[in-house]
Homo-oligomer: A and B are copies of this chain.
Amino acid sequence: MPTIYDVAALAGVSPATVSRVLNGIPVSLDRAQRVRDAAEALSFTPNRAARTMRNRHSEIIALVIPDIENPFFTAIARGVEDVAQSAGFSVVLCNTDDDTAKEARYLSIAVSENMAGVILASADPSVDLSRLQRLDRPIVAVDRVPLGWLIDSVVLDSAAGGRDATEALYAQGFRRIACITGSPSVPNSAERADGWREVVHRHGDDNETYLRHSNSRVEGGRAAMHELLSLASPPDAVFVANNLMGVGALQALADAELTPKDVGVAVFGDLPSSVRPPTDVIVIPQQTRRLGESAARLLLERIDGDTEPARTIVLPSVPREPHAKSV
């Protein structure tokens, strides 16, 4: 593995000059050319570990997500990658499997590898970020905001998602609208239910018995939907708070040999592309990719030395309206 010393020797210049050429610092034209030729000849690539050590941080961003199999998070990853790569950073994905210990491990690695920054969708609302904060390492929360830390965050407008979905069901003539969401202790889940409740009340209804908190994945949605369908007086429609639960709810519907024509279904979030939603399912799209893009931009600013107070970006749920309408 050649070093800048080898390149310098071959080019007949000092190592410092090689470093300058590599980093775009002005150098006389002929020397620059000699360096480039020499580097080419040796197929030299800078040793990033050395560079990291010297610079105090690498050119790598860690994206720590709970479930690599959930298209919601992989879409975020796409957004992050796009922005990061065009700024010259690479993104590595760290899959925590919703396991707190694994997450802690990856966070620790990000620190000790001197990665440029971390974008985190935490498995644990009460994750400990003290070390990252103390060391002043750039970190941005995406989709899930850890409690009690002043950090940049980017989230979807969950309440609006719940409202929009529920309104859409009312607009189609449904009246007894249920809600399937995740644990009430998770802000996203709670806010989506709040949005649903708000609209239900506005229409003069009170469907609190139709509210189901369940595990946020497919099985949870499925189980909750089964429950709702077996009520003495079942709902005529349901708002489902996320994509995977949506898949589960549709499965339960199919199990009961029903379709979204029989029982209305509105899902907040795009279904996995391998799932073909039956016709008439209402999908309230999420700006998932933009979630990643915004997080990456925020992070890049911090890496660049921005020291503004922590910001929170709430992305509106309506596509084609990237920015909230201002007055």
CB pair A218–B49 under 8 Å, yes or no, is no
A319 in contact (CB, < 8 A): no
A77 to B60, CA, bound (A): 20
Copies of this protein in the complex: 2
A46: B residues at CB distance < 8 A: 112
User: For residues 244 through 288 of chain A, which have their beta carbon under 8 Å from a beta carbon of chain B?
Assistant: 244, 247, 251, 254, 271-276
Task: State how many residues of chain A have any CB contact under 8 Å with chain B.
Answer: 45
Quick one: given A49-B52, A273-B218, are A90 and B74 in contact (CB under 8 Å)? no
Chain B: minimal CB distance from A259 (Å) = 13
Quick one: given A53-B50, A69-B273, A94-B92, are A108 and B45 in contact (CB under 8 Å)? yes
A107 to B176, CA, bound (A): 55
A274 to B108, CA, bound (A): 32
Most chain B beta-carbon contacts within 10 A, residue among A62, A69, A95 = A69
A187 in contact (CB, < 8 A): no
Closest to A63 in B: B93
A244 to B113, CA, bound (A): 36
A113 to B90, CA, bound (A): 12
A171 in contact (CB, < 8 A): no
A209: B residues at CB distance < 8 A: none
Pick the contact of A47 from B62, B114, B244, B254 — CB < 8 Å?
Answer: B114
User: For residues 58 through 80 of chain A, which have their beta carbon under 8 Å from a beta carbon of chain B?
Assistant: 58, 60, 62, 68-69, 71, 74, 77
A28 in contact (CB, < 8 A): no
> Contact mask A82-121 → B, CB, 8 Å, 1/0?
0000000010111100000000011011011110000000
A247 to B53, CA, bound (A): 47
Quick one: given A45-B111, A53-B47, A112-B45, are A93 and B92 in contact (CB under 8 Å)? yes
CB pair A1–B135 under 8 Å, yes or no, is yes
CB pair B77–A68 under 8 Å, yes or no, is yes
A81 in contact (CB, < 8 A): yes
Can you name 18 A-B residue pairings with CB atoms under 8 Å? A1-B135, A45-B112, A48-B112, A49-B112, A50-B53, A60-B109, A68-B93, A69-B74, A77-B95, A81-B95, A90-B94, A92-B92, A93-B93, A244-B274, A254-B276, A271-B274, A272-B274, A274-B275
In the complex, the 3 A-B pairs of residues with the closest C-beta atoms, listed nearest first: A92-B92, A93-B93, A49-B52
